[in-house]
Amino acid sequence: MQFDDEAELDASQVQDRRGIPGGGLAVGGGAIGILGLVVALLFGIDPGLFGAADQPAAPPVGKATSPAQLSAACKTGADANKRQDCRILAVVNSVQAYWQADFAARGRSYRPADTVLFTDRVATACGTATSAVGPFYCPGDGKAYFDLGFFDDMTRQLGAKGGPFAEAYVVAHEYGHHVQDLLGTMGKVGNDRQGADSASVKLELQADCYAGVWTHHATTTPQPSTGRPLITSLTDQDIALALDAAESVGDDRIQQRATGRSNPETWTHGSSAQRKQWFTTGYRTGDPAKCNTFG
């Protein structure tokens, strides 16, 4: 994945809360274990995971990397070609430029969603989340949350090969949830949150498909500010790394790694094969209408 060196990045789409100590909440104990491991692989959205009683914490004090610093560090595509945080920002810009154009073409209006970068824990409208839940989208405040340390976990604990485009896939998956939020698809889940045929799995596979749709259009979507695509090239290797990442976060794979066996009754995101299949459907067709995982 290469970015146009000259392209301007829009840092206003990413809030940098890294290095802010605490999320305000004492979430007792370190009882993570197997449940924690499974939860960590979510790319999830389930606010219940964060503890429904949690209130978003008061604005924390302490030294943070201010947004001004991120915007100073990440000005152009050249920065995105060099630094991980700038790259994530650039992917957010590209993904949102695509959905903006797609919604407009369908006579809908897209509401941009910020990404929040955090370390360790973060206060959200869905409660206080720790890094253990993995990247997630909170419908309550319409933001995507990433601890960039997850990408190391993805390679070290989940066995993914990783790489910039594996990370881009994760970002695009979370924005897939934002698209679902805007389209009202999230309401289909209700309490049907577990099992191979659950609405939760269908929602997650659709987010993978939407990530593939963006991938299809990534090198041809012009940025509003420049009229040129921000991403200038994607290789077969990039696509292979996205598929490898999708495989690594399949429920069957995660459960096998954690417990030595897989239990489809507790799946929330779909199997490795399904996640690869739906990413591929989106990537091949470039058409969100083909992401009909709900059937």
CB atoms within 10 A of CB 201: 25
In this complex, which beta carbon is closest to Zn ion, that of residue 74 or of residue 205?
Answer: 205
133, 264, 90, 112: which is closest to 194 by C-alpha? Answer: 264
Pairing mode, strands 115-118 and 143-146: parallel
Minimum Å gap between C-beta 173 and Zn ion is 6
Taking the complex as a whole, the smallest distance from the CB of residue 44 to Zn ion amounts, in Å, to 6
Instruction: Provide the token pair at 290.
Output: 């083909």
Binding span for Zn ion by CB under 5 A among 41-49, 164-172, 211-219, 250-258? 41-49
Is residue 43 at the binding interface for Zn ion, with CB under 5 A as the rule?
A: yes
- Report, in Å, the least distance between residue 31 CB and Zn ion: 24
Specify whether the backbone of 159 is left (phi greater than 0), alpha (psi in -120 to 50) or beta. Answer: left
CA distance 291 to 274: 12
CB closer to Zn ion out of 86 and 95: 95
Q: Does 278 bind Zn ion (CB under 5 A)?
A: no
145 belongs to the binding site for Zn ion (CB under 5 A): no
Distance of CA 282 to the CA centre of its chain: 16
Site size for Zn ion (CB under 5 A)? 3
Span near Zn ion by CB under 5 A; candidates 56-64, 122-130, 183-191, 200-208: 200-208
Smallest separation (angstroms) from Zn ion to the CB of 286 = 21
Tell me the C-alpha distance between 178 and 206, whole Å: 12
CB of 282 to Zn ion, least distance (A): 14
Dist. CA 149–CA 168, nearest whole Å = 14
Taking CB under 5 A as the binding criterion, the range among 37-45, 66-74, 223-231, 275-283 that sits at the site for Zn ion is 37-45
| Residue 11, amino acid | A
Kindly give, in sequence order, each residue whose CB lies less than 8 Å from that of residue 206, ignoring residues fewer than 6 positions away.
176, 180, 185, 278, 291, 292, 293, 294
Region 103-142 residues binding Zn ion, contact defined as CB under 5 A: none
Minimum distance, C-beta of residue 177 to Zn ion, in the bound complex (Å):
6
Q: Within 10 Å of residue 263's Cβ, how many Cβ atoms? A: 13
Range in contact with Zn ion (rule: CB under 5 A) among 18-26, 36-44, 88-96, 123-131: 36-44
User: Given the rule CB under 5 A, which of 7-15, 42-50, 51-59, 119-127 is the region that contacts Zn ion?
Assistant: 42-50
Site for Zn ion in 201-230 (CB under 5 A): 204, 207
Residues at the contact surface with Zn ion, assessed by CB under 5 A: 43, 204, 207
